[in-house]
Amino acid sequence: MTLLRVRPGNLCRAHELILKNFSSPAISIRPVSSSSPAWPWKQVPKHSMDSGVPSASDTQPPLDVLEMARQAQTDVSTGNGADGDIDTKIKHVLSSIPAHSNQALSTEVTSSDNEVQLESVSKSILDKSNLDVEGNVTDLSGSAIKKIKSSEDVSFYNYVHIRPFKYPAYWLRDNCQCTSCIRPDTRQRMVSSFSIPKNIHAKSVFQASPGQINVIWSDGHMGEYSMAWLDSHQMPSEVTHSNKVLTFRNFKHRRQAKSHPWVNYEEVMNTGQGLTLWLQKVVDWGYCLVKGVPVTPEATKQLLERIAFIRETHYGGFWDFTSDLTFKDTAYTTEALGAHTDNTYFSDPARLQLFHLLEHTEGEGGETLLVDGFYAAQRMLIEAPHNVEAFTDYAHPWHSSGNEHISIQPYVYFPVFERDPTTARLMRIRWNNYDRAAKIDWTPYMAMSWYSAARHWNAILLRKDQTQKWLQLEPGTAILFDNWRMLHGRSEFTGKRRMCGGYINNDDFLSRYRLLKNGRENTLNQIGTYKTRLSV
Ligand SMILES: C[N+](C)(C)CCCC[C@H](N)C(=O)O
Ligand SMILES: O=C(O)CCC(=O)C(=O)O
């Protein structure tokens, strides 16, 4: 019997999945009395329905999506909605679970051997042979899941042992690092990956020189691998997925800091060490001031371009702005702005943002607010972990539609907290209540959970003595901050205020940072490994 389980953290996503595919007009999942669960499968205790605050017991054990689908079918076939097309819906629900997403699928197959690849499980689930003539999903017993008999799987269980590690032969051959397999100039793979014999194996492995291992392959190729590359590419013994609600990388935070991390403009502009120190402080603290910046947009633009090219957006590239509504966004007014991250309406929000106040005359105010989102998220986790779950699991629409010919929206809904599926590590905070659009694909219960979490989050952001840092920017001092971690805002102001700055993309920032920090050789040896992927 194949069980499809959804990790506890994906509970709400499973709901959304079912809802999205079952909430057609023909099928209405109507609110039922709180004595019985709003969801056929979710035993929601009465009190949490009333109080709106999900209780700890709401973090149910892993749910069986297939069982949920079947129960939903039962629910509907008892007259709560249309029947007949429910089977199509079940097939559609299952087809919307990505075949490759291990975190959503873990299979328990009864076939004696375990040489069944995940993709074959989902294929066989959707394979016609598993649907009877009416399209009903038949019992997915082990026999229905075809065992891959081709020689294809041999090399993925045929390892090359290079003490103390082992590597699948086919994978190691496909990733040969010799100069005919990886072009030295472009660093691109030149291996004809799909002409490698399926039963490739190592005929001999030897140390060709200090720090280099060679492999004589059964296809006659002499493979070359540095020990550093082999070391950083050792594979985990299993692909595990954290069941924690949220984890954090190392980061530094000082509550209500009067002093702020800073670097000197000349050192940043003239030395690699100065530039590295600047970026390192942004990684550690979430932001860093630069003192001694010439008070011109030109010098500020050059400072930003020390990192990478500036990200173009509908606001332009390098901006020099004031409160004249040049663009239809409240940033171009004198109004106060609550703590937010920028670009929530982009699928890929800019990672870094720089501000440099060029002048502020005939008026006052316009102080800059900073809130460390990682610290705030940690507070939320300590105080109400179920609120963190609502922020990781309920994805939202966002938009920027002020300018006449613009209505920018991400290609998919994104949650406020985005975490790495393997480690549950918080990777990105997306919070701008001004630009959050109206979400429709949730139940009253889900919405109540999320708004309860949002109220909590807002309260944390407003804690002056715990999370807020206010600083008055001055001409000559620029601030660079991590827009995926730090929220920013400003107090209202009067008078003439001119600010300049720009955005840097995440990938361009991390490319620069890892090369400055680790050097090119180490960086090339660690491409795609956890050492680089999750370092910041
Ligand atoms: C370009 N500049 C930074 C001046 C203003 C951009 C407006 C930012 C927008 N409110 C957002 O949250 O993304
Ligand atoms: O004007 C400021 O100080 C900040 C403006 C702002 O928050 C933004 O542009 O997102």
Could you tell me which residue, 124 or 106, shows the higher pLDDT? Answer: 124
For the cut 70, the answer to whether the pLDDT of residue 24 exceeds it is no
Q: Which atom of ligand 2 is nearest to the CA of 357?
A: 3
In this structure, are residues 306 and 316 in contact, taking their beta carbons and an 8 Å threshold?
no
C-alpha distances out from residue 96 to 104, 167, 353, 446, 479, Å: 11, 32, 36, 21, 44
Give the helix/strand (H/E) hosting 428: strand 426-429
pLDDT at residue 240, as a whole number? 79
Query: In the chain, pLDDT over 70 holds for what percent of residues?
Result: 70
pLDDT digits (tens, 9 = 90+) for 419-448: 998 889 999 999 999 999 999 999 999 999
In this structure, are residues 398 and 410 in contact, taking their beta carbons and an 8 Å threshold?
yes
In this structure, are residues 461 and 328 in contact, taking their beta carbons and an 8 Å threshold?
no
Q: Candidates 364, 490, 491: which one to mutate for ligand 2, based on the most atoms within 8 Å of Cβ? A: 490
pLDDT digits (tens, 9 = 90+) for 272-319: 999 999 999 999 999 999 999 999 999 999 999 999 999 999 999 999
pLDDT at residue 145, as a whole number? 41
Please provide residue 263's backbone torsions phi and psi, each rounded to the nearest 5 degrees: -135, 170
For the cut 50, the answer to whether the pLDDT of residue 229 exceeds it is yes
* Distance in angstroms (rounded) separating the CA atoms of residues 163 and 147: 31
CB proximity list for 425: less than 8 A, separation 6 or greater = 246, 247, 248, 249, 419, 534
Mean pLDDT across the chain? 79
For the cut 90, the answer to whether the pLDDT of residue 375 exceeds it is yes
Could you tell me which residue, 360 or 37, shows the higher pLDDT? Answer: 360
Q: Produce one character per residue of 322-332: b if its CB has 16 or more CB atoms within 10 Å, e if not.
A: bbeeebebebb
Please provide residue 99's backbone torsions phi and psi, each rounded to the nearest 5 degrees: -60, -35
3-state SS track over 315-379: CECCEEECCCCCCCCHHHCCCCEEEECCCCCCCCCCCEEEEEEEEEECCCECCEEEEEHHHHHHH
pLDDT class for 45, splitting at 50, 70, 90?
A: very low
Q: Which of 14-18, 154-158, 384-388, 505-509 has the lowest mean pLDDT?
A: 14-18
Terminal-to-terminal C-alpha distance of the chain:
41
Could you give the maximum distance between any two Cα atoms of the chain, in Å?
Answer: 80
pLDDT at residue 61, as a whole number? 34
Bridge-based pairing of strands 63-64 and 165-168 is: unpaired
Chain-centre distance of CA 182, in angstroms?
A: 30
Q: State the virtual CA torsion across 297, 298, 299, 305 in degrees, nearest 10.
A: 100
Cβ count within 10 A of residue 185? 6
pLDDT at residue 531, as a whole number? 66
pLDDT class for 235, splitting at 50, 70, 90?
A: confident
pLDDT digits (tens, 9 = 90+) for 467-499: 999 999 999 999 999 999 999 999 999 999 999
In this structure, are residues 142 and 129 in contact, taking their beta carbons and an 8 Å threshold?
no
pLDDT at residue 325, as a whole number? 86
pLDDT class for 192, splitting at 50, 70, 90?
A: very high
Query: In the chain, pLDDT over 90 holds for what percent of residues?
Result: 62
Residue with the two structure tokens 């005919």: 180
Q: Which atom of ligand 1 is nearest to the CA of 340?
A: 12
Q: Which residues line ligand 2 (CB under 6 A)?
A: 331, 337, 342, 355, 368, 488-490, 499
Q: What is the CATH number of domain 262-532?
A: 3.60.130.10
For the cut 90, the answer to whether the pLDDT of residue 155 exceeds it is no
In this structure, are residues 442 and 349 in contact, taking their beta carbons and an 8 Å threshold?
no
Handedness of CA 449, 347, 525, 234 (dihedral sign): positive
For the cut 70, the answer to whether the pLDDT of residue 535 exceeds it is no
CB proximity list for 444: less than 8 A, separation 6 or greater = 31, 38
CB proximity list for 316: less than 8 A, separation 6 or greater = none
* Distance in angstroms (rounded) separating the CA atoms of residues 275 and 271: 6
Quote the crossing angle between the two packed helices 11-22 and 385-393, to the nearest 10°.
Answer: 40
Residue 338 CA to ligand 2 center (angstroms) comes to: 10
Residue 331 CA to ligand 1 center (angstroms) comes to: 6
ipTM for this prediction: 0.98
Query: 3-238 adopts what CATH topology?
Result: NE0471 N-terminal domain-like (3.30.2020)
Residue 393 CA to ligand 1 center (angstroms) comes to: 26
pLDDT at residue 112, as a whole number? 30
Taking the whole predicted model, whether its pTM rises above 0.95 is answered as: no
- Closest among 482, 461, 463, 246 to 343, alpha carbons compared: 482
pLDDT digits (tens, 9 = 90+) for 510-523: 999 999 999 999 99
What are the structure tokens assigned to 396, written together? 């939202």
Nearest CA to ligand 2 atom 2: 490
Domain residues of the chain, as ranges?
3-238, 262-532
Please provide residue 427's backbone torsions phi and psi, each rounded to the nearest 5 degrees: -105, -35
Residue 440 CA to ligand 2 center (angstroms) comes to: 29
Q: What are the start-end ranges of the E strands in 201-244? A: 202-209, 212-217, 222-226
Give the helix/strand (H/E) hosting 501: strand 496-504
Q: Candidates 311, 315, 358: which one to mutate for ligand 1, based on the most atoms within 8 Å of Cβ? A: 315
pLDDT at residue 118, as a whole number? 29
pLDDT at residue 156, as a whole number? 72
Nearest CA to ligand 2 atom 1: 331
Chain-centre distance of CA 60, in angstroms?
A: 24
| Number of residues written out for the chain | 536
Nearest CA to ligand 1 atom 9: 342
Q: Which of 197-206, 349-358, 367-376 has the lowest mean pLDDT?
A: 197-206
- Closest among 445, 346, 344, 436 to 390, alpha carbons compared: 445
